[in-house]
Chain A
Amino acid sequence: MIKLEKRAQPSRTLALSTPLIAVVITMIAGGLLFAALGKNPFEAIGTIFWEPLFGEFAFYYRPQLLVKGGPLILIAIGLSLGFRAGIWNIGAEGQYIMGAICGAGAGLAFYPMESIFIFPIMILAGALGGWVWAMIPALLKVKFGTNEILVSLMLVYVAEQLLASVSLGLLKNPQGFGFPGSRNLQEYASAHNAELITGTGMHWGVLFAFIAVIMSYVLLNKHILGFNIRLTGEAPRAARFAGVNPTRLILFCLGTSGALAGLAGMFEASGPAGQISIDFGVGYGFTAIIVAFLGRLHPVGILLAGLLMALTYIGGEIAQSNMGLPAAAIQVFQGMLLFFLLALDLLTNFRIKFAVKGAA
């Protein structure tokens, strides 16, 4: 009989090696799936993992990893703070959309004026938009005790409808012949979140993501607030005795995650996407939840998880166009990767013992 025994301390070696093992197992299982679909499994796996990093056109894909991973990391860092304290913000997608609407809206309000102050104002507006949207579940939770999972999730749908509304109305490009969508901010120099160094994929959003990783690391390890967050998550009762103010913690965690999601939306709208349109939201807010857990809610882990997730997206697209793999197969592949990563996490915290039946 197999028995699990909790480790006194999570195993460091395993914490570092299980993700690699999970990736290897996923490659095997995914290979079988691709073979079942009649594709060469070695070629498919190689295309997904090798091509974007070291393939012939890696000079193009590597920067794209940052473009795709940046928003995921930025949002996931914010979410991880709340998740650690047991505060579940599932609505980052809505906060991301609201940040984009407010940020882009602030920029477009100045059109066509050029000024170096416009972009900082947009950053503030974007963060504020996401923050306000996250404060709704936060305040309702604090005041009425409503469930933040539900409220934040509901607000995603509200945000999506608002997005459709402004794309067709308020922010519609007046020179767009009646088509939905805002002006392209890439063509508005003061509002454009351009690459900081051409060809690197580094835009302000990626820079903010890196800063967020560092700040969150410092916060969690060196600051009393970070300690309180961890304490609340790991031992809620002890936290209460220690005098942690749950109200303030809820407002801080939800507010921060909302602001970061809003920033991610604003940087995306003013940079890589360039505009607000009906289909602006592509699920970064939900994927970021997965990224946060894949990274084990640890800042550095999230950084790596975000890049890994971006790799499977980009590699998956290449596999589609090179080998004709259906997009669904890539989705299943990603799902498997998550399953194995989650399942193997067990080994980090538990020891598996084989005991004689009945001896337990």
Chain B
Amino acid sequence: MKLTKLLTSAALVAGLATSAMADKTKVGFVYVGPIGDGGWTHEHDKGRLAVEAEYGDKVETVYVESVPEGPDAERVMTDMALKGADIIFTTSFGYMDPTINVAKKFPKVKFEHATGYKQAANVSVYSARFYEGRAVQGHIAGQMTKSNTIGYIGSYPIPEVIRGINSAYIHAKEVNPDVQFKIVWAYTWFDPAKEADAAKVLIEQGADVILQHTDSTAPQAAAQAAGNVITFGQASDMSEYAPMPRVSSIIDDWAPYYIARVGAVMDGTWESVNTWDGIGAGMVGIGEISDAVPAEIKASALALKDKLADGSYHAFTGPVNKQDGSAWLADGETADDGTLAGMNFYVEGIDGDVPQ
């Protein structure tokens, strides 16, 4: 009896799924933090709202926030799939294996996993080339610093963060050969008080530019209190700290991608893809460069941004050596995505070791 019940339910699910497809496209979002985190999840949720705004009555979006990675995520995804979601965005690296597991059970549902590397027939992966934004930051920072010391607050030593440090360093060094990076690892994704401490420490040790790979505005406030220190917004624009200390920002903008992918499901053209978009596709936004930056620096920064956007310039273009002096990129050679994705070394000139 139980088995028949299970089967009828399953049939019902299938029925639901098709009937849902007939009128409304159902889109699910699984978030790792609360939508009020003001950073990572907040920006994904803006993407969700953009999908609603774009398609109006033709879509229905659902989300579950603060879902721990692991079995809880798998359950939330299964729940969405059972209720007839057509496409599910899973927005944290740690959702990778759960996404693949659930996708196997629901071959008709499309899955989109952020920042991972496991693809399947119904699982796309997408991520943003934030390092392009870091290049612009480094370009501005290298020219703005007077102490030639730039502080960098990292979360955990993972490729994503290391890539950002390298990109910022290369472009700061390019405009200012004397520049030095001081890097502090917070070993947390989220602890505003600790970020504030880290920023203060860097400032006390002479940094007059703070770059952050953590999402809170704590470093901005610390910089403001210190006076002549500039910062860049991270994840969201943080424009409340403009024009000083925040002189520009890297904005995660998932809206264009989400709208396009939901649209592809609607017209039946969805295919599994591996997307790694940057400034060009609008996934990485550069927040307005404030008036605290001299006009000629602003102009060259915007020029760099345009070159990155139209693809005429790659943020990792040789010659670049690794930290130990061994050659990495020959003159004119650009980094391949595989190396970038797993980057676990500093480029030549950065002091200190990547924590292991």
Contact = CB atoms under 8 A, between A and B. Distances in A.
Direct A–B touching, Cβ under 8 Å: yes
Interface of A: 56-57, 59-60, 64, 67-68, 161, 164, 168-169, 177-181, 184, 186, 268, 272-275, 277-280, 282, 313-314, 317-318, 320-322, 324, 326-328
Contacts of B70: 268, 272-274, 280, 282
Contacts of A180: 156, 158
Q: What 3 pairs between A and B have smallest CB-CB spacing? A: A272-B71, A178-B342, A273-B70
Contact of B355 (A57, A59, A168): A168
A56 B12 contact: yes
Given A278-B156, A317-B67, A56 B9 contact: yes
A278 B62 CA distance: 27
A357 B97 CA distance: 66
Contacts of A313: 72
15 contacts: A59-B6, A68-B71, A168-B355, A179-B93, A272-B70, A273-B69, A273-B70, A279-B69, A280-B70, A313-B72, A317-B67, A318-B79, A320-B65, A324-B62, A327-B65
Interface string B300-317: 000000000000000000
Chain B interface residue number, banded: 35 or more
B203 interface: no
Interface in B27-47: 28, 34-35
A15 B70 CA distance: 36
Contacts of A314: 75
Contact of A317 (B76, B157, B338): B76
B241 interface: no
A57 B71 contact: no
A321 B80 contact: yes
B142 to A, nearest CB: 27
B349 interface: no
A321 B117 contact: no
A321 B341 contact: no
Nearest to A283: B68
B14 interface: no
Contacts of B265: none
A66 to B, nearest CB: 11
A321 B62 contact: yes
Nearest to A280: B70
Given A279-B68, A317-B75, 20 more contacts: A56-B9, A57-B13, A59-B6, A60-B78, A60-B79, A64-B75, A68-B71, A68-B72, A164-B156, A168-B157, A177-B159, A179-B342, A180-B158, A274-B70, A274-B97, A278-B156, A282-B72, A326-B34, A326-B35, A327-B66
Given A161-B187, A321-B83, A326 B65 contact: yes
B356 interface: yes
Contact of B79 (A280, A317, A326): A317
A328 B35 CA distance: 10
B86 to A, nearest CB: 14
B9 A179 contact: no
Contacts of A321: 28, 62-64, 76, 79-80, 83
Contacts of A273: 69-71
A57 B9 contact: yes
B120 to A, nearest CB: 14
A327 B342 CA distance: 34
A327 to B, nearest CB: 5
Contacts of A327: 34, 64-66
A121 to B, nearest CB: 23
B316 to A, nearest CB: 16
B270 to A, nearest CB: 21
Contacts of B343: 178
A305 to B, nearest CB: 19
A282 B68 contact: yes
A274 B259 CA distance: 32
A274 B97 CA distance: 8
Contacts of B157: 168
B253 interface: no
B9 A178 contact: no
A324 B49 CA distance: 13
A148 B134 CA distance: 47
B344 A320 contact: no
B94 interface: yes
Contact of A277 (B65, B79, B94): B94
A313 to B, nearest CB: 8
Contacts of A178: 158-159, 341-344
A59 B159 CA distance: 41
Interface in B48-93: 62-72, 74-76, 78-80, 82-83, 93
A59 B82 CA distance: 11
B340 to A, nearest CB: 10
Contact of B97 (A59, A60, A184): A184
Given A57-B82, A59-B6, A177-B159, A328 B34 contact: yes
A161 B185 CA distance: 13
A186 B70 CA distance: 12
Nearest to A172: B356
Contact of B156 (A67, A168, A280): A168
